[in-house]
Amino acid sequence: MAIEVLVKKTGGPEVMEISQSKLSENPEDNSVRIKHRAIGVNYIDTYHRDGTYPIQLPSVLGMEAVGEIIKKGDGVRGFSVGDRVGYASLPLGSYCDVRDYPSDKIVKIPDYISDVQAASILLKGMTVEYLFNRTYKLKAGEHFLFHAAAGGVGLLACQWSKAIGAKMIGTVSTKEKAVLAKNLGCDYVINYKEENVVEKLMDITNNKGVSVVYDGVGKDTFENSISSLQDRGLFVSFGQSSGMVNDVNLHKVFAPKNLFYTRPSLIVYNKKREDLEKSVESLFGLVKEKKIKTENIKEYKLEDVGTAHQELQNRKTVGSLVLIP
C-alpha cells in the first residue's frame, strides 16, 4: 500500500487528506517504482490544490521527489534497482511514499547531493537554468530584476547569477531576507515594503532600466516589472504567487516601449530528454563546484503537508520546503 496526499476537491490546505492506495504487482513497461525519501514542495502545488491550474480530481499532488528504484518495468534502460533517482515533472503524484513513474523523466542523483538537498533544488534549480540560459541568455555584467529573491527559486537565482557574473537586483519583504539574498550573491536588494522599487532600480541602472525582468509573483509586482524594463525589454512571467494579473491592455502596456512577453514553464522547456539532461547537468555541475549551496531547507513530515502549504502561501518560509515520508 502507498501512503499519499489526496485532493478530492479544490480549496485551501484543509482539502488535502492522507489516504492509501494499492499498487499493482509490477510497474508498467518503461516505468520504475520509486520509494521516496524526500519530496519537494513547490508553489505550483498550491495552484493545483486550489484550482488556479485545473487538474482532474481526485488527484495526488506534487511534481518533485527523490528516492530509490525498488522495481522496474520491462523496457527500462539505463536504470537499475537500487539507483537513487529524482524527477520534477508531470504526471502529478509525488506526495506519497512510493509510486510508479516514467523512466524517461527521471535522472540519477550524484553521491555529492543528499536526498533532501536534491528534492529541494531539482524543480527550482532547473527553473533557474532555463530562465537564465534559454528564456533569456543572461550575460556577465548585465543588470536584471528578479522578484522574491529570498524564496526557493530566488535564492538559487542569487547564486546562479553570481556564478555567471550577472548583476541581480532582487526584491524582498524583510531586512532578514535582504541579508540572506545579499549573502548568497544578489548584488542589489530592494525591500519593497520600505523602498520604491522602480526608483531604486533606476538609481542602480543610471535610469536605463533593465533588459529582462523575471517575475514569479504576478499581480502585486506587474506594474513595477513593466516600469523597470528598458525599450524592447523582456517580461518573463513564470508564476503568480500573489494572484493572476487581470485585464491587461496589451497595446497600452507593451506597445510604448515595444516590450516582449513570455510565459514559460519547466514542463515545456524540458519536454525533450536531451533538454532535461542538459538542464540537470548544468545544475548539478554548479553544486559540485560549490557555486550553489543547498541550504535554507525546511523539512516537514508528509502528514504535516497542510502546515507546509499554509506557511508557503503566507510567505512565512525562506528557501525550499521538503516533505519526508
Cα angle value 306/181/163 (rounded, 5°): 115
Peptide bond just before 27 cis, omega within 30 deg: no
Q: Does domain 125-266 have CATH number 3.40.50.720?
A: yes
- Rounded CA gap, 191 and 171, in Å? 6
Q: What are phi and psi of 298, to 5 degrees?
A: -110, 125
The CATH class, in words, for 2-114+294-324 is alpha beta
Residues of the chain with CATH 3.40.50.720: 125-266
Please report, as a single letter, which amino acid is at residue 291: K
Give the predicted TM-score (pTM) of the model: 0.93
Q: What are phi and psi of 172, to 5 degrees?
A: -140, 170
Look at residue 52 and give its three-state secondary structure.
coil
Matching residue, cell 536605463: 208
Expressed in angstroms, the distance from the first to the final Cα of the chain is 13
Relative to beta strand 229-237, strand 260-262 is parallel
| Pair 57, 9: CB distance under 8 Å | yes
Residues of the chain with CATH 3.90.180.10: 2-114+294-324
pLDDT tens per residue, the chain (325 residues)?
Answer: 899 999 999 999 999 999 999 999 999 999 999 999 999 999 999 999 999 999 999 999 999 999 999 999 999 999 999 999 999 999 999 999 999 999 999 999 999 999 999 999 999 999 999 999 999 999 999 999 999 999 889 999 999 999 999 999 999 999 999 999 999 999 999 999 999 999 999 999 999 999 999 999 878 899 999 999 999 999 999 987 767 788 888 889 999 999 999 999 999 999 999 999 999 999 999 999 999 998 889 999 999 999 999 999 887 778 899 999 9
**Count of beta carbons in the 10 Å neighbourhood of residue 320:** 28
Spell 77-96 as b/e; 16+ CB within 10 A means b: eeeeeebbbbbbbeebbbbb
